[in-house]
């Protein structure tokens, strides 16, 4: 079977990755916006849908020879797993993360996301909105941790809710448009 034939037999993994990212991002940012507490609900969503579903989507993107999708979904899936590990801190004898280390962690993710946003300039507007808002989210959360600003974290929470909703929309639009064979929801 040629690579082209193989790619035709693999479903588009993008909607799964976007859904995993979007739903988990909304849930976590409901916490950042001080609407719900950090709980096992967010941790479980981060491990399963945010982490595992995005990693599966990333591996499928590797099979489709999509470097952008493979890198993005695998990296962000592993982001969710690393974030849960940071919160749970199963490393005996290692101090919990402080605001400075979290500030650098989030800053690095913001820089990575900013470069991935540049890659989206070859994609649809909906994907550009996801990555631009995610860049802003990471940078706001980073500055909030560096400065200890609860107000900035609250603002970041609302940006994150918008970011997550834009990813959910992107996922649903791709699915519905594919199912109907036409543009039902603009991207």
The domain locations on the chain are 8-176
User: Tokens 């916490």 — which residue?
Assistant: 31
What pLDDT does 89 receive? 87
Instruction: Give me the pLDDT at residue 2, please.
Output: 53
- Residue 92 is predicted with a pLDDT of 87
Q: Identify the CA nearest to 145 among candidates 118, 177, 107, 115.
A: 107
- C-alpha span between 117 and 179 (Å, rounded): 27
pTM for the model: 0.92
Local mean pLDDT, 10-residue blocks, the chain (187 residues): 60 96 98 97 96 97 96 98 93 91 98 98 97 98 98 98 98 96 92
Residue pLDDT, tens place only, 125-137: 999 999 999 999 9
Q: Check residue 62 and give its pLDDT.
A: 96
Rounded-to-integer distance, Cα 41 and Cα 80, Å: 13
Query: For residues 74 and 160, what is the distance between their CA atoms, to the nearest angstrom?
Result: 20
């Amino acid at each position: 079977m040629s690579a082209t034939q193989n790619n035709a037999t693999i479903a588009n993994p993008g909607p799964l990755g976007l859904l995993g990212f979007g739903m988990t991002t909304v849930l976590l940012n409901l916490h950042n916006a001080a609407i719900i507490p950090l709980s096992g609900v967010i941790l479980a969503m981060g491990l399963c849908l945010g982490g595992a579903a995005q990693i599966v989507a990333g591996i499928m993107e590797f099979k489709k020879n999509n470097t952008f999708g493979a890198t993005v979904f695998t990296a962000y899936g592993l982001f969710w797993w690393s974030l849960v590990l940071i919160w749970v801190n199963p490393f005996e004898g290692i101090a919990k993360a402080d605001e400075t280390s979290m500030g650098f962690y989030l800053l690095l993710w913001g820089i990575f996301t900013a470069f991935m946003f540049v890659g989206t300039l070859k994609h649809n507007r909906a994907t550009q909105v996801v990555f631009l808002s995610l860049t802003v989210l990471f940078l706001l959360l980073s500055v909030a941790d560096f400065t200890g600003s609860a107000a900035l974290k609250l603002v970041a929470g609302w940006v994150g809710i918008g970011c997550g909703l834009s990813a959910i929309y992107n996922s649903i639009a791709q699915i519905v448009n594919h199912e109907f064979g036409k543009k039902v929801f603009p991207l």
